[in-house]
């Protein structure tokens, strides 16, 4: 089944304790699309400026990502610059230049409107709502958000959360939204806002999938010695998760759990190199190999 | 198989965001013993003062913990007072009064010297070494330590680590000892000091069991909505871990992994009430029930 993603395609500059990269390919929809492309046919809706490098377009095309919805306007591409300190957990934003994104009004090509799987990557919740209205009763809708929207557009975000199936956020966002620092309590509050399932990403502490019934599934992160750049790990997780669901079309508990594990595995590749570099050169057999290695690392005989 | 533990029995005063308790039963060997008592016969070696409440002795006796090695001297019992802030991760020590512990020289009753399982709970590493010399070639020796000894007695601690099988520590101690904030790197450094296995406890992020071969096992903490007091959770973990090994005498990979899970489960009970209160009223069927619930929470169908 095909998977539609609407979000940002950006040019990122990043510094971590292990080096830095200037003007690299970035954006929430970029990481999501590349990650999901290993599982399913991805259709990308986003906007870039006239300055967006052709080679980045080629990199996305090589992953068979459909780009009919990638609008190229006359301005400049959205840019983000950030820095990670030693703990690699928190990105410190140096600047955000919305550029082409400032006036972005997502146009969904007609043939995309029937996509059964939809991911609303982290953008203005009003835009996420607008996209949702244009897509014809998708089978499964997931969305992400961030601290900025939780603080500045709480009403729009709450309106959105009433309409989606799965909310995928990280622990600090869950805390900010709920006012709770216990993840079980946080999930209960967020469920009261509407979503049917919640995934809380906890960085190197793994992920938790909550169901509205109170049931949940916990799984650790894939432990690695070398992490170069955590940028995009959350979107890459979401790409593996939604990509797997879209491929298998299996929306039962075993399917969701396996999707969380694929999200975990894809995120573990993402952080091994700067930007999406590791994902771009990733092979399917490497995913299968790490999936099996991970299963052994967490197995309870 | 019987299990010998040498460590502290103390009187603790603790404040958490959920309340406070004055002059409660505490100490590393106390938590360890009560936890392990659900699995095996525990022999406790420690010292208390003449002021140690009889009711605490009774509580330990009720768990069938052998107390022939509990020395009662004429001084006062070791006291610790601490406070936890909102995140519950770090204990802020208000005071430590060594009292009877200041001149503690562990006396191991002769019939304890053949114990096949030995846990050296967190005390001065010189004392841990002295105990180890007195015990006759135990089958398995594990030890704990803390930031204070890592900083103040690094040479004694390193001497100890050459002689033990399993080092059980928390993540901040692993970082302090190794100078690494990546747990895989930290484990490699610690292996160079001697132990055959390392368990790193990561609080609500679960535990990792490392083998010298580079293999490891990760498992999440048992997620709970209400945590009242984290005091003793690490020693309780060690008690479940060593108690299970001592009961089954099964020192292969499946045995070690199951022991880590029992450690995780026992620690989850510990934090549900102040001091060892929850452990004292715990029933074996509750352990079995939570073990099964946990297996389901982490299962990959």
Residues found in chain B: 301
Q: Distances in Å between the alpha carbon of B219 and those of A182, A275, B296?
A: 19, 29, 13
What pLDDT was estimated at residue A56? 97
At B252, is the pLDDT very low, low, confident or very high (cuts 50, 70, 90)?
Answer: very high
Task: Using the predicted structure, report yes or no on whether residue B62 has a pLDDT greater than 90.
Answer: yes
What pLDDT was estimated at residue A125? 96
Provide the shortest C-alpha distance from residue B251 to chain A (in Å): 14
**Which residue range is the domain that position B266 belongs to?**
3-295
**From A187, which residue of chain B is nearest by alpha-carbon distance?**
B225
CA–CA distance, B74 with A96 (Å, rounded to integer): 68
From the list B225, B298, B301, the residue facing A254 with the nearest CB is B301
- In DSSP terms, B83 is beta-bridged to B15, B92
Nearest Cα neighbor of A215 from A201, A202, A197, A200 is: A197
State chain A's mean pLDDT as an integer: 96
**Do residue A205 and residue B208 have CB atoms under 8 angstroms apart?**
no
Residues of A in contact with B181 (CB under 8 A): 86-87
At B46, is the pLDDT very low, low, confident or very high (cuts 50, 70, 90)?
Answer: very high
CA–CA distance, B124 with B145 (Å, rounded to integer): 8
CA–CA distance, B226 with B114 (Å, rounded to integer): 41
Task: Using the predicted structure, report yes or no on whether residue B301 has a pLDDT greater than 80.
Answer: no
**Do residue B217 and residue A86 have CB atoms under 8 angstroms apart?**
no
At B121, is the pLDDT very low, low, confident or very high (cuts 50, 70, 90)?
Answer: very high
Judging by DSSP bridges, how do beta strands B216-219 and B207-211 pair with one another? antiparallel
Residues of A in contact with B257 (CB under 8 A): 299-301
Asked if residue B63 belongs to a domain, the reply is yes
Asked if residue B301 belongs to a domain, the reply is no
Q: Chain A residues within 8 A (CB-CB) of chain B? A: 86-87, 181-185, 202, 204-206, 208, 216-220, 223-227, 253-254, 257-258, 261, 295, 297-301
What pLDDT was estimated at residue B232? 96
**Do residue B220 and residue A219 have CB atoms under 8 angstroms apart?**
yes
CB B194 within 8 A of CB B161: yes
**Do residue B218 and residue A298 have CB atoms under 8 angstroms apart?**
yes
For position A199, which CATH number holds?
3.40.1190.20
DSSP state for residue A15 in the 8-state scheme: E
**Do residue A220 and residue B224 have CB atoms under 8 angstroms apart?**
no
Asked if residue B300 belongs to a domain, the reply is no
Count of the separate structural domains present in chain B: 1
Residues of A in contact with B225 (CB under 8 A): 182, 184-185
| pLDDT tens track for A121-132 | 999 999 999 999
**From A254, which residue of chain B is nearest by alpha-carbon distance?**
B301
What pLDDT was estimated at residue A71? 97
Task: Using the predicted structure, report yes or no on whether residue A85 has a pLDDT greater than 90.
Answer: no
Provide the shortest C-alpha distance from residue A176 to chain B (in Å): 14
Residue of B225, B257, B261, B262 to mutate when probing chain A, most A C-beta within 10 A: B225
From the list B87, B205, B216, the residue facing A181 with the nearest CB is B87
What pLDDT was estimated at residue A86? 79
Task: Using the predicted structure, report yes or no on whether residue B89 has a pLDDT greater than 90.
Answer: no
**Do residue B181 and residue A220 have CB atoms under 8 angstroms apart?**
no
Asked if residue B127 belongs to a domain, the reply is yes
CA–CA distance, A241 with A144 (Å, rounded to integer): 13
Q: What is the mean pLDDT of residues A246-262?
A: 97
From the list B181, B204, B297, the residue facing A216 with the nearest CB is B297
Q: Which pair of tokens denotes residue B119?
A: 């846990």
At B119, is the pLDDT very low, low, confident or very high (cuts 50, 70, 90)?
Answer: very high
If 0-12 CB within 10 Å is exposed, 13-18 middle and 19+ buried, where does residue B35 land?
Answer: buried
| pLDDT tens track for A103-119 | 899 999 999 999 999 99
**Do residue A301 and residue B253 have CB atoms under 8 angstroms apart?**
yes
At A165, is the pLDDT very low, low, confident or very high (cuts 50, 70, 90)?
Answer: very high
Asked if residue B197 belongs to a domain, the reply is yes
Q: What is the mean pLDDT of residues A136-148?
A: 95
From the list B87, B218, B301, the residue facing A220 with the nearest CB is B218
């Amino acid at each position: 089944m095909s998977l539609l993603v609407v979000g940002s395609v950006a040019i990122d500059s990043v510094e971590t304790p292990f080096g830095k990269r200037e003007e690299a390919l970035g954006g929430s929809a970029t990481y999501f699309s590349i990650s999901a492309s290993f599982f399913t046919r991805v259709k990308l809706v986003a906007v870039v400026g006239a300055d967006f490098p052709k080679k980045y377009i080629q990199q996305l095309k090589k992953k068979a990502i459909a780009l009919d919805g990638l609008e190229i306007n006359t301005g400049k591409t959205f840019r983000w610059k950030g820095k990670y300190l030693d703990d690699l957990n928190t990105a410190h934003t140096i600047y955000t230049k919305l550029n082409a994104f400032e006036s972005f009004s997502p146009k969904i090509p007609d043939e995309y409107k029937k996509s059964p799987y939809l991911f609303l990557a982290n953008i203005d919740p009003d835009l996420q709502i607008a996209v949702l209205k244009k897509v014809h009763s998708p089978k499964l809708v997931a969305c992400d958000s961030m601290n900025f929207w939780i603080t500045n557009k709480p009403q729009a975000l709450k309106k959105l959360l009433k309409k989606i199936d799965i909310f995928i956020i990280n622990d600090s966002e869950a805390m900010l939204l709920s006012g709770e620092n216990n993840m079980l309590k946080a999930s209960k509050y967020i469920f009261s806002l509407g979503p049917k399932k919640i995934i809380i990403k906890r960085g190197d502490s793994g992920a938790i999938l909550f169901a509205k019934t109170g049931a949940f599934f916990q799984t650790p992160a894939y432990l690695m010695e070398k992490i170069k750049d955590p940028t995009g790990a959350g979107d890459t997780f979401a790409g593996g998760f939604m990509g797997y669901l879209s491929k298998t079309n299996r929306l039962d508990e075993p399917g969701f759990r396996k999707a969380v594990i694929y999200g975990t595995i894809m995120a573990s590749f993402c952080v091994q190199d700067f930007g999406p570099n590791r994902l771009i050169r990733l092979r399917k057999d490497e995913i299968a190999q790490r999936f099996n290695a991970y299963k052994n690392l967490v197995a309870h005989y």
